[in-house]
């Protein structure tokens, strides 16, 4: 099998290496000429064997992905298949697929999980598309997924959109799991009189416990590298999938308190001096004459002394 890979960043570049190690021929294209194996997208397409050329796209979700798809639409022929492996919104997939289907170009969306570890460990894959296209691409999926039973690292989840819908939910779960480990970390750390070695407690949870997981393994690794996580600021970005998960939940009236809380915790992380919390403090002062901290005291954290409360 010979496939083209568009986007040779952290994910695409590693995936290309894993495919090659498994015996799949890959031609790589990147918009950055320094990273690219072929100068232009049209020359890249020309290197791929016909019929049924296969191209895997691994560029940032949204407009960059759509721009590549629009360009490919003018270069590919009927029967060729495009695999969108980034973190596209599932409804964007359906729009993109409709645009390509008009020209007879096939479309498969694949949610890819595994991060920078996937090159060696394999990637968890969630695919959406027609059965015929999925079967055509099975050698590629088998090369990318972890060793072991196929159904434990790959799913044909449904029609176009199902792959990225599954990946969106996966990422929502990821938010909740990370937040739970993080809150546990803070609770352990808060009692250094009782728990002198937080990393040792996390480490002991890795086998046998109900909360063992790969994210826990990574937590142990992070705490080992920097026990107090002192080199990392408590500021967390998000790439959008958590938001999409919550929008979907609202549309379907599905209660997702954990995932919502985890997303909002990230927003809070970006507001060390929150306007909303200043308003709460101001209101307490207004109705009860309660003390507020001055702007100079901002940043002093901790549990209030109940004895100091006048409530
Ligand atoms: O898909 C992923 C992991 O499964 C990506 O790493 C994703 O970017 C993580 O999402 P966020 O940046 O919102 O935390």
Average pLDDT over residues 97-112: 97
Tell me, yes or no, whether 229 lies in a domain.
yes
Tell me, yes or no, whether 307 lies in a domain.
no
Q: Which pLDDT score is estimated for 299? A: 53
Q: Please tell me whether residues 203 and 142 are part of one structural domain.
A: no
Closest by CA to 17, choosing from 119, 137, 138, is 119
% of the chain surpassing 90 pLDDT: 94
Q: Which pLDDT score is estimated for 298? A: 59
Query: ipTM score of the complex?
Result: 0.97
Closest by CA to 84, choosing from 103, 62, 102, is 62
- Domain termination site, one of 159, 186, 215: 159
From 171, 176, 182, 238, the mutation candidate for ligand 1 (largest count of ligand atoms within 8 A of CB) is 171
**Cα 170 to ligand 1 centroid, rounded to whole Å:** 10
- Domain termination site, one of 105, 124, 159: 159
Q: Which pLDDT score is estimated for 308? A: 44
Tell me, yes or no, whether 178 lies in a domain.
yes
Q: If pLDDT is split at 50, 70 and 90, which confidence band does 301 have?
A: low
Tell me, yes or no, whether 308 lies in a domain.
no
171 lines ligand 1 (CB under 6 A): yes
267 lines ligand 1 (CB under 6 A): no
Average pLDDT over residues 69-83: 97
311 pLDDT above the threshold of 50: no
- Domain termination site, one of 125, 159, 193: 159
Say which CATH number the domain at 36 has: 3.40.50.720
Q: Please tell me whether residues 23 and 140 are part of one structural domain.
A: yes
Q: Please tell me whether residues 15 and 146 are part of one structural domain.
A: yes
List CB contacts of 267: < 8 A, sequence separation 6 or more: none
Q: If pLDDT is split at 50, 70 and 90, which confidence band does 295 have?
A: confident
Q: Please tell me whether residues 6 and 40 are part of one structural domain.
A: yes
Residue 4's DSSP bridge partners are 27, 55
Tell me, yes or no, whether 71 lies in a domain.
yes
Provide the domain limits for residue 176.
168-269
199 pLDDT above the threshold of 90: yes
Q: Please tell me whether residues 148 and 191 are part of one structural domain.
A: no
* Catalytic residue from among 43, 95, 151, 174: 174
Model confidence, pTM: 0.93
Weakest-pLDDT range from 45-54, 103-112, 288-297: 288-297
Q: Please tell me whether residues 184 and 144 are part of one structural domain.
A: no
Task: Please check whether residue 12 is in contact with residue 6, taking contact to mean a CB–CB distance below 8 angstroms.
Answer: yes
Instruction: List, for residues 205-262, the tens digit of each pLDDT value.
Output: 999 999 999 999 999 999 999 999 999 999 999 999 999 999 999 999 999 999 999 9
Q: Please tell me whether residues 179 and 146 are part of one structural domain.
A: no
Q: Please tell me whether residues 233 and 96 are part of one structural domain.
A: no
Q: 3-class SS at 282?
A: helix
Q: 3-class SS at 217?
A: helix
Say which CATH number the domain at 260 has: 1.10.1040.10
Q: Which residues of 194-218 are buried (b: 16+ CB within 10 A; e: fewer)?
A: eeeebbeebbebeeeeeeeeeebee
Instruction: List, for residues 26-71, the tens digit of each pLDDT value.
Output: 999 999 999 999 999 999 999 999 999 999 999 999 999 999 999 9
Tell me, yes or no, whether 261 lies in a domain.
yes
Q: Which pLDDT score is estimated for 282? A: 96
The question of whether 174 is a catalytic residue gets the answer yes
From 88, 173, 241, the mutation candidate for ligand 1 (largest count of ligand atoms within 8 A of CB) is 241
- Helices 257-269 and 162-190 cross at an angle (nearest 10°) of 70
CA of 207: how far to CAs of 123, 170, 213, in Å? 23, 23, 9
Pairing of strands 54-57, 81-84: parallel
Total domains, the chain: 2
Distance CA(6)–CA(41), nearest Å, equals 9
Q: Which pLDDT score is estimated for 99? A: 96
238 lines ligand 1 (CB under 6 A): yes
Give strand ranges (E) for 52-188: 54-57, 81-84, 106-113, 124-128, 154-158
Q: If pLDDT is split at 50, 70 and 90, which confidence band does 310 have?
A: very low
Q: 3-class SS at 45?
A: helix
Q: Please tell me whether residues 7 and 62 are part of one structural domain.
A: yes
Q: Please tell me whether residues 111 and 173 are part of one structural domain.
A: no
Tell me, yes or no, whether 311 lies in a domain.
no
**Cα 113 to ligand 1 centroid, rounded to whole Å:** 9
77 pLDDT above the threshold of 50: yes
Q: Please tell me whether residues 172 and 155 are part of one structural domain.
A: no
Average pLDDT over residues 59-85: 96
Tell me, yes or no, whether 305 lies in a domain.
no
Q: Please tell me whether residues 95 and 65 are part of one structural domain.
A: yes
């Amino acid at each position: 099998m010979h496939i083209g890979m568009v986007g040779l960043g952290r994910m695409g570049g590693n995936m290309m290496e894993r495919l090659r190690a498994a015996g799949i021929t890959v031609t790589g294209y990147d918009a950055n000429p320094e990273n690219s194996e072929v100068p232009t997208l049209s020359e890249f397409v020309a290197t791929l064997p016909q019929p049924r050329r296969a191209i895997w796209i691994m560029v940032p979700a949204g407009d960059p992905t759509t721009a590549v798809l629009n360009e490919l639409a003018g270069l590919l022929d009927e029967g060729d298949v495009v695999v969108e492996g980034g973190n596209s919104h599932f409804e964007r997939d359906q729009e993109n697929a409709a645009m390509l289907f008009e020209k007879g170009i096939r479309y498969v969306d694949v949610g890819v999980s595994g991060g920078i570890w996937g090159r060696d460990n394999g990637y968890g894959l969630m695919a959406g598309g027609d059965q015929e296209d999925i079967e055509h691409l099975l050698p590629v999926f088998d090369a990318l997924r972890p060793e072991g039973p196929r159904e434990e690292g790959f799913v044909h989840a449904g029609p176009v959109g199902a792959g990225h819908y599954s990946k969106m939910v996966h990422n929502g779960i990821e938010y909740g799991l990370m937040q739970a480990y993080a809150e546990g970390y803070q609770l352990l750390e808060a009692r250094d009189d009782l728990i002198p070695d937080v990393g040792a407690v996390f480490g002991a949870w890795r086998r046998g416990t109900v909360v063992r997981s790969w994210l826990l393994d990574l937590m142990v690794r992070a705490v080992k590298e920097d026990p107090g996580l002192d080199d990392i600021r408590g500021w967390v970005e998000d790439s959008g999938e958590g938001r999409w998960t919550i929008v979907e939940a609202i549309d379907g009236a599905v209660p997702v308190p954990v995932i919502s809380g985890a997303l909002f915790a990230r927003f809070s992380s970006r507001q060390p001096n929150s306007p909303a919390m200043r308003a709460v403090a101001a209101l307490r002062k207004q109705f009860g004459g309660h003390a507020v901290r001055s702007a100079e005291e901002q940043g002093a954290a901790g549990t209030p002394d109940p004895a100091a409360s006048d409530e």
